[in-house]
Structure 1
Amino acid sequence: MKFSFLLLSVLIISTTTTFSQEIFELTTGLDDPRLRFFFHGFRDFVFNTIGKTSYKTKGVFLQEKFRKNAKFPCDVELGKSREPPKSVHKLRPGDISVIGALGDSLTCSTGAMAERITELSMENRGLSWSIGGQWNWRNATTLPNILKVFNPSLVGYSLDDSFPFHKASQFNLAEIGAVSTDMPFMARALVKRIKNDKRVNFKYDWKIVTISIGGNDICSFLCLMKNPERLPEMHRMALTKTLRYLKNNLPRVFVNIVSVPHVETVIMIRGKPQSCSFIHHGECACWVGSLSNSTKESRERWKKIQRQFISVEEEVAKLDEFRRLDEFAVMYQPFTKNVSLIVDGKRDLSLLSFDCFHLSQKGHAWAGTTLWNNMLEPDNKKTLNWASPQRKLNCPSKEHPYIKTYDNS
């Protein structure tokens, strides 16, 4: 249903405009605030009809669990300061009290436990790699579940299956169908939600926010733009605006920027199940859909634009205006640059959901673990591919106890 609603939006826009503006700058009847009530009602109907899916205990989509009595591999005492630090460049994992996220369906954890097409409409946010806090690090190795070991009082992580207007979503402001230009709005909503939460000491608590967006830009809207080559620069403006807003309005915050993996990694899989081929025509119409008359030449064009899109993220993260500040830092975490489905020489589709596009719970665990690993690695030595939590889980050390920034690496 996610891709059908997105496709409906695209069709309405494409049939009612002349593209004198780019598609991201347009509004339609779907943007009428009065429709929000009905949209939420429809989504609640879908939610209640399908039912929660995130508590399954069997399936290839589940990560390899650690033993119940497995000891956390890190020295927890090294991961927390005796007194809250005054500088983000001396921030340890256990100093983080609040966690949030901005993004699209990958951050929503869409269909992480899906075994059929209808379950792709469920957002298993409690299992999301960057913001899910369901279960614990042993069976859902997400960033929040790792951080909870160092600080059990951490707040903000998604608790359960939920949509963004549900309480269980908490500080996960990601939305299906979201595009880069939605980020400033999401940032404002996130700050408001954190500020109004009585559990948070807004001024003094250290916070972490992970931003990851772009799949819909590249998959569904790029081929509808009047000038697709404008997309990276539009992304630069939206991302810069978002970071400036967070810097000026959210005290004591560390921001991760993570690129969406290259689309061709999942869309151009040879020999994929027929169900995935069908779904990809809705989820990524610019690459494989008949609507956009995709060709080898057009896909090469989209690949080049996506590479530029990703480069922009790293460039913005390194802007001088975000450097050498005491209460704000942003770091580009590059582990998605070389994400591959080849594991021990074989293709492992169990890292993906039923649609061969979104991540499975296993994939979220690999992504959450590698994001954590990136956070403890200096800029020039960061992991560029994901790995199983069982194989690599970095730890703070006496020599290097702090989360890495560009100014303490």
Structure 2
Amino acid sequence: MTLLTYLVPVVALLAQVAALPATSSAIHPRAPLAGQFAGDIGACPPLPMRTTVPTSVKDLRPDDFKAVMAIGDSITAAFAAEGMKLNPVENILENRGISFTMGGDKGAVTVANMLKRFSPKIVGASTGDRIVSLCSGRLCGIGGYFPQDRFNAALSGAKVENLDRELNYLIKTVKEDKTINYQKDWKFMSILIGANDMCDVCDGTNLDGDTYERLIRAAFEKVRINLPNTVINVMTIFKVSEIWPLTKNELQCKIKRALGLKALCGCAFVDGDTASGVAKRKVMDDYAAIWNQRLLKVVTEYRGKYDNFAVILDPAGGNTPLTQFDPSFVSNIDCFHPSERAHKYMARNLWNNLFLDSTNKAQKWPKDLDNTIYCPTATDRIQVA
């Protein structure tokens, strides 16, 4: 079930009813990293200016990127991330300015803002809040895009099959932007997709491995052909099923699901802890494993293949048990979408993994929701192998 079908009840329900200091040490004890870790990206020293523009995707530092982009679903759109507000209308907003990959609001802990620390003129980050736009089947894109979305093409409710729709918008928008040279400037792109597909797999609307692989490869190829000089950082999909055990004992979540919000992800929530519910969540996990395996297969095909295009796989999300966190990881609006604290957490960990090759990347997220941020040095490169 998508946002389209539960939006109205959410409004009725809601009408009734700063980053913390980091204390953890570096989370990559095996990593061959030369720099230090800090509690805030602003504490990291700037990089010395490069004298030449890199010509290979293997030689990129954060200050080489001129644009940041993303495709995905309501997670990347940061739906409900800021949590419950007194005004019910504010509880159906996408808080895109704090999106973990694309948020450009001042002070937001996001990958886009971390890149901006080293490349101050980088463009594309989304800002502020705006009413949700919905992607539901063939009606994907209800509400359209807003100027402040910039290069954040994510749509709430989107599935893997909708990536082509998002890319059509993104490619057009990037090519029309006169502040960058879409052919020559280096661009950084994030992709996270699959949560909505997972919420439907128990109802017979299964996305088989072959179809998933074909759609993902087509998306990568469309970016490569139309937006050269791009690095894609694609994330494995986490086990959405585990949001159930994470939140099932929370009183506010019980109330909201009793009033209809359990249909937001029927496969995970509707049947609860019955045998049927357990079986449905098992199906979700099985499909997540299949998709992540196929994703690794496709990403591996691109390693070392092009000088002006690369795809990086961040494996951590798919390997991390969400049950290791507390309920603050999810929004108190719907007990489903990531909270602002979760967005900050995901941004820090995605950033840290960028400077590690595939053999050294953290394979799962740490338990500490307030872990530190890596400060890259002049010798560090974005690892594409």
Q: Mean Cα displacement is larger for which, 240-249 or 334-343?
A: 334-343
Q: Is the 8 A contact 2:342 2:369 kept in 1?
A: no
TM-aligned CA distance change 1:253 to 1:70, over 3 Å:
closer
1:391 aligns with 371
Equivalent residues in 2 for 1:301-316, closer than 5 Å: 301-316=283-298
Q: 2:162 aligns with which of 164, 179, 182?
A: 182
Deviation at 1:374, TM superposition (A): 1.0
Change (3 A) 1:388 1:166: farther
The separation in 2 between residues aligned to 1:120 and 1:284, in whole angstroms, is 18
Change (3 A) 1:167 1:145: same
Structure 1's 396 and 324: CA in aligned 2 closer, same or farther, altered over 3 A? farther
1:367/1:386 contact within 8 Å kept: no
* Residue 136 (structure 2) pairs with residue 157 (structure 1): no
* Contact 2:270 2:277 survives alignment (8 Å): no
Aligned to 2:42: 72
**Counterpart contact for 1:179–1:213, Cα < 8 Å:** yes
Q: 1:4 to 1:182 in 2, by over 3 A?
A: closer
Q: Is the 8 A contact 1:4 1:282 kept in 2?
A: no
- 1:198 and 2:154 are equivalent in the alignment: no
Instruction: Measure how far apart 1:214 and its partner are.
Output: 0.5
Task: Tell me what 2:138 maps to.
Answer: none
Please, which runs of 5 or more residues in structure 2 have no aligned partner? 23-38, 133-143
For these two proteins, the number of residue pairs brought into alignment is 341
Residue 5 of structure 1 is matched in structure 2 by 4
Picking from 120, 128, 131, the partner of 2:99 is 128
- Closer, same or farther: CA 225–340 of 1 in aligned 2, 3 Å: closer
Aligned mate of 1:366, from 345, 359, 373:
345
Partner SS for 1:201: coil
Q: Is the counterpart of residue 214 in structure 1 residue 194 in structure 2?
A: yes
Q: Is the 8 A contact 1:365 1:388 kept in 2?
A: no
SS at match of 2:242: helix
Q: For residues 351 and 330 of structure 1, do their structure 2 counterparts lie closer, same or farther at Cα, with a shift above 3 Å needed?
A: same
Unaligned runs of at least 5 residues, structure 1: 9-41, 51-61
Any idea what SS the aligned residue of 2:297 has?
helix
Question: Does the CA-based 8 Å contact 1:341-1:349 persist in structure 2?
Answer: no
> 1:22-44 CA deviation, whole Å, 9 max, x = no partner?
xxxxxxxxxxxxxxxxxxxx9xx
Match of residue 361, structure 2, among 382, 385, 403: 382
Match of 1:63 among 19, 36, 59: 19
Q: TM-score, normalised by structure 2?
A: 0.80
Report matched runs for 1:4-403 at 5 Å. Answer: 5-6=4-5, 62-64=18-20, 72-78=42-48, 81-115=50-84, 119-136=90-107, 140-162=108-130, 163=132, 165-219=145-199, 221-225=200-204, 228=206, 230-269=207-246, 271-277=248-254, 278-279=256-257, 280-289=261-270, 294-320=276-302, 323-340=304-321, 347-354=325-332, 355-383=334-362, 384-386=364-366, 391-398=371-378, 400-403=379-382
Shift of 1:182: 0.6
Cα gap change, 1:340/1:295 in structure 2, threshold over 3 Å: closer, same or farther?
closer
1:202 aligned counterpart, secondary structure: coil
Counterpart contact for 1:370–1:387, Cα < 8 Å:
no
Task: Kindly state the Cα deviation for residue 386 of structure 1 after the two structures are TM-superposed.
Answer: 4.6
Equivalent residue of 1:312, what SS?
Answer: helix
CA contact (8 A) 1:171 1:190 kept: yes
Separation of aligned partners in 2, 1:71 and 1:308: 35
Query: Relative contact order: is structure 1 or structure 2 higher (C-alpha 8 Å, sep ≥ 6)?
Result: 2
